[in-house]
């Protein structure tokens, strides 16, 4: 499954996290190169020439860090961007390894309980989920969700998305009671931020709600709507559209 929006959210979240900048030209040049790469990676369609350009920008970013003997967490940002690039090239295992490496850098520089580490846990979890590795994904979601929710707010689009990614894992693993509990806790917020989510997420989440509703564990969709898929899809982007993340 090629869901570029999985990584767009990560880029937006981590770009907004303050990094510890040194004075001088190198940090500014690094930021310029990395920012250009991240902007390109948000494009849903990239040709091989575009991917090669991103690769060159990331190589340049890393060379700047090496030359300046940088001791901040910037290398974690580079590795995270390399993970995005690997996924876009159809290499999910390499993407996973790079995300883990990025998380290790953030853990070393910011501490094991930092937002940075928790955010990577959620992104690794989403990558594993999209590879149908539900049990492994759930471990990462459970480990990182509360820290991110405390930092951003439980009602933020990112936190809501990750709550319902857990629902997908739980439904896939047959743990329906817990899945229904999370749905009941987050249903109002899901509807409120549906327009911030991509259509694939809304369709899959809607399917989970329909299953739980059929089991008598969750309510039916609002009157006038045949099922949860159609209801949520009507609130969010249409197929092929990107999620609006302007306030993330």
Q: What is the pLDDT of residues 198-225, one digit of tens each?
A: 889 999 999 999 999 999 999 999 988 8
Q: How far is CA 6 from CA 31, 54, 143, 148, 170, in A?
A: 22, 18, 18, 16, 19
Say if residues 224 and 194 touch (Cβ distance below 8 Å). Answer: no
Query: What pLDDT does residue 247 have?
Result: 40
Q: Express each pLDDT in 222-245 by its tens digit.
A: 988 889 999 999 897 655 444 443
Residues of the chain with pLDDT under 70: 1-24, 237-248
Helix (H, G, I), strand (E, B) or coil at 42: coil
CA 101/CA 122 separation, integer angstroms? 14
Q: Rounded to a whole number, what is the distance in angstroms from the first to the last CA of the chain? A: 24
Residue 224 is given by DSSP the state T
Residue 156 is given by DSSP the state S
């Amino acid at each position: 499954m090629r869901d570029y929006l999985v990584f767009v959210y990560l880029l937006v979240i981590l770009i907004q996290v303050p990094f510890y900048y040194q004075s001088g030209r190198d940090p500014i040049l690094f930021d310029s190169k990395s920012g250009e790469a991240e902007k390109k990676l948000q494009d849903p369609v990239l040709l091989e020439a575009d991917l090669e350009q991103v690769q060159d920008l990331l190589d340049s970013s890393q060379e700047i860090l090496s030359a300046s003997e940088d001791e901040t967490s910037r290398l974690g940002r580079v590795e995270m961007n390399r993970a995005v690039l690997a996924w876009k090239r159809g290499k999910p295992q390499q993407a996973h390894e790079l995300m883990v490496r990025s998380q290790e850098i953030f853990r070393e520089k910011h501490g094991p309980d930092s937002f940075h580490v928790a955010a990577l846990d959620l992104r690794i979890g989403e990558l594993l989920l999209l590879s149908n590795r539900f049990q492994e994904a759930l471990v990462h979601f459970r480990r990182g969700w509360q820290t991110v929710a405390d930092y951003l707010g439980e009602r933020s689009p990112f936190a809501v998305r990750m709550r319902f990614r857990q629902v997908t894992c739980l439904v896939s693993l047959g743990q329906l009671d817990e899945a229904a509990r999370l749905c009941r806790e987050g249903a109002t917020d899901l509807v409120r931020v549906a327009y911030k989510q991509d259509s694939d997420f809304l369709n899959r989440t809607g399917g989970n709600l329909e299953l739980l509703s059929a089991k008598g564990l969750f309510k039916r969709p609002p009157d006038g709507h045949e099922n949860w898929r159609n209801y949520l899809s009507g609130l969010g982007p249409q197929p092929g559209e990107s999620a609006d993340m302007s306030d993330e």
